[in-house]
Structure 1
């Protein structure tokens, strides 16, 4: 019998508690976002607190090292229960906010495809491996049909992010500099922007996301006329990476759980860029398990797609099997991130820094955010210091590096805990922020290797 490759070998530090509690945290947070679209309310704040507690226990709680040969079937059952809860949420409310529908049964096509996705997901959880080889691509195809239906019936959501991506992509296709342009203020007020950033109906900043995000959006705009089609494809690819990272029922189930996250279609409709980050994080985990030589470069692309990915750098320690390999991973990843970013920054460094960095530092406090700081202010207290989320993240990073399993699953679980903490104590935190946390928890479940009798006897 062939030996298992080192990067695929089960880790004795991957106890069953990690996928169990990550699954619970993902389900709780996904259903919490359904309550208020990720805005502040007492029940949504309680859901966020429960998610944080479950995530913390997944990363730093005590584990059972003894064999548990029936853990995967039990976890598959739990995934099935979570999927049923999500499907119920999808059927009980609008899947998105800007749909333009006509006719007596406008949701019939969506619900028919949703039923197909549910049946395929169930088959993935209970069927043999040969069925999963066919079922996973079918599930991804059905999701693309669901997402395409959403985009066709919500062609122009009233949100600035959509404007940024459409006009930024058009500017790039014309040969201009999207980071030095301005945008129309579609809201007619300046409450959601920093001081001095609105004048004469224009937003005085350029494309507010890193260049790699712009490139993805431009690809969707150029090929399909809508940048959100790039996000649709990114979501499907992320699920594919989840399903095939470890394989088996758990991987396929976690991918289905991610695709059918109730507010996932809302995130897609609103043109938020988190799907790009989820795709690259899932690809990084996939490479860590299947193609470790590609990991530094995919990890570097992940660092280049959002501003806050800097928190993933110290957690890279959990991705490499040996500490001496950490430097090789980081310098290659850093070089990759610079390679895709500098060509867009160098033509106008000042404009680039203003749009991609300074703009976000000066964003105003949002009292409707799903965060503890917003709840504090709503109760009549003055806004707290802005260093609080960074201190909270430093504590969580320290705990994660001390206690988290040194494995791709441990990395994903620690990343989910880190970002859930950062958003929960931040001045702005909305549905798309926590959607990334849900996705990262699903990645942790998909990449977990459960202890078995065979492993324990080695």
Structure 2
């Protein structure tokens, strides 16, 4: 029989520790583009260790409104105070930064006044945060119509190639400041973002659409309660947001798939959850790291995980068949052998930049696989609720980032997004109700499945 491990009730101070680490991590991440600094690596490592301790102790953390106010006011201070990399300049830069600051402060005020503004405060927080994110994206796209980054160039030109019936893995990119002869993502990154190019001239418009769809997934996951609104505000208004949208980094697309996977699983529609997860897995390679955990988590389980892999494989297959050698080169061998980028804030680059030591590939493999093994054991034995599982997924990705040759703001942002999702999932059950869960809903207690029901008054 699987041992039952009771989650611990966290003290109120744990919420404030989480907020401080959130602000520290995102402040450092905003500063990290494009520079390497040892304090950045150490701060991200501290956040990783704190997440591991959180999982080991199984502390229940719920953000109260004053912790959220602190987080949002902190973001409003960090965004203009910490060096920010962007191709947006002049008045447009002031407008974009000002939008994030005003959005964060407005959300903080709404949260602070929540007792007086019920029932309107919670949806208002989510709406204001989403609108601020959308406005920031619009400013970035209009003010910087051609960012000098290979990500944007390859996404734009691969979208054009799809219309011409060309294989993106056999294309050469014109005027790319970086990679010129490879499409390093899986094909559905381009497919899902191409409509932004076709309809509005820029793939970043579609990244905005998928981010907002992901926000809707968070709202659905959190059942429209405070935790959902808080998670949306923290993520949409996080320091470094302008850089992410300006550079066309694609993690919001993956976030959308994971958010809707979690929302559908939480609603007992785990088979439907296969679809957004498969689309995410067909968009970027490293999500394959998460599938073993889902394989052992009974609410999703073996059959649905295998179905996810099969559907992702079917979605990818046309491009593989069109040019197997090109596909494998672009998505696997090029990345494995790619040179380290010196402003990646990881332990691999710390050893290289500070001591001239190139860590062998097997060291990275041991750390990542060791973390995955610990996570697999914990998930298999505990059969944790969804909120804890999301944090295990975040930890695996975070460790993989910290020991990689290449990991930047966007990869770390996805780990933070999974933590935010876990907060929304954990707050989905309103006070005064009991959550009775069977295997289909994520516990190991073996009780028959039943509906949530109010407790006696």
TM-score, normalised relative to structure 1? 0.83
Q: Tell whether 2:148 aligns with 1:158.
A: yes
Show CA shifts across 1:350-382 (max 9, x none). Answer: 212222222211211223220112111122333
Residues 1:239 and 2:215 are matched in the alignment? yes
Tell me which residue corresponds to 1:180.
170
1:106 CA drift (Å): 6.4
After TM superposition, give the deviation of residue 141 of structure 1 in Å: 2.8
Distance 1:17 1:288 in 2: 29
Post-superposition shift, 1:231? 1.2
Structure 2 equivalent of residue 364 of structure 1: 339
Aligned residues: 422
Q: Could you say if the C-alpha distance between residues 456 and 409 of structure 1 is closer, same or farther in structure 2, counting changes exceeding 3 Å?
A: closer
1:221 aligns with 2:223: no
Name the counterpart of 1:61.
57
Separation (CA, whole Å) in 2 of partners of 1:354 and 1:271: 23
> For residue 197 of structure 1, what is the aligned residue in structure 2?
none
Contact 1:165 1:227 in 2 (8 A): yes
Does the C-alpha gap of structure 1 residues 17 and 152 become closer, same or farther in structure 2, counting only changes over 3 Å? farther
Q: Does 1:263 align with 2:250?
A: no
SS in 2 for 1:366: coil
Per the TM alignment, residue 456 of structure 1 is displaced from its structure 2 partner at its CA by 9.5
- Deviation of the 1:398 alpha carbon: 2.5
Matches within 5 A, 1:5-16: 13=7, 16=10
Of 52, 72, 79, the residue aligned with 1:83 is 72
Alignment of 1:36-185 (within 5 A): 36-37=32-33, 39-63=35-59, 72=62, 75-93=64-82, 96-102=85-91, 107-108=94-95, 111=98, 114-116=101-103, 118-120=105-107, 122-124=109-111, 126=114, 127-133=117-123, 135-184=125-174
Equivalent residue, structure 2, for 1:301: 279
Distance 1:259 1:224, change over 3 A: same
* 1:78–1:318 distance in 2 versus 1, CA, 3 Å: farther
Which ranges of structure 1 fall in alignment gaps of 5 or more residues? 1-10, 65-70, 194-202
- Cα separation, 1, equivalents of 2:366 and 2:42: 22
Show the counterpart of 1:346. Answer: 321
1-structure distance, mates of 2:45, 2:253: 26
Write the distance in 1 (CA, Å) between the matches of 2:385 and 2:11.
14
- Is 1:433 paired with 2:411? yes
The answer to which structure, 1 or 2, has the higher relative contact order (CA under 8 A, 6+ apart) is: 1
Range moving further from structure 2, 260-269 or 243-252: 243-252
1:393 Cα deviation from its structure 2 partner: 1.8
Post-superposition offset of 1:294 = 1.1
1:235-270 Cα shifts (integer Å, max 9, x gaps):
222222223312321211111000011112201101
Q: Tell me the equivalent position of 1:396.
A: 371
RMSD across aligned positions (CA): 2.9
Q: Does 1:330 align with 2:305?
A: yes
Question: Who is 2:442 aligned against?
Answer: none
Moved more, 108-117 or 371-380: 108-117
3-state SS of the aligned residue for 1:107? helix
2:423 aligned to which of 445, 451, 454 = 445
Is the Cα contact below 8 Å between 1:254 and 1:446 reproduced in 2?
A: yes
Q: Secondary structure in 2 aligned to 1:383?
A: coil
Distance 1:17 1:427 in 2: 38
Deviations 1:71-101 (A, max 9, x none): 74x5332222111111111232576510143
Q: CA–CA distance in 2 between the matches of 1:165 and 1:175?
A: 15
Q: What is the TM-score of this pair, normalised by structure 2?
A: 0.83
In the alignment, the residues of structure 2 paired with residue 24 and residue 34 of structure 1 have an alpha-carbon distance, to the nearest angstrom, of 15
Residue 382 of structure 1 aligns to a residue in which SS? coil
Q: Per the alignment, do residues 386 and 39 of structure 1 end up closer, same or farther by CA in structure 2, a change over 3 Å counting?
A: farther
8 Å CA contact 2:346–2:402 kept in 1: the answer is yes
Cα distance change, pair 113–375 in 1 and its aligned pair in 2 (3 A)? closer
Structure 1, 399-408 or 271-280: larger mean CA deviation: 399-408
- Matches of 1:170 and 1:95, distance apart in 2: 31
Matched, 1:408 2:386: yes
Three-state SS of the structure 2 residue aligned to 1:32 is helix
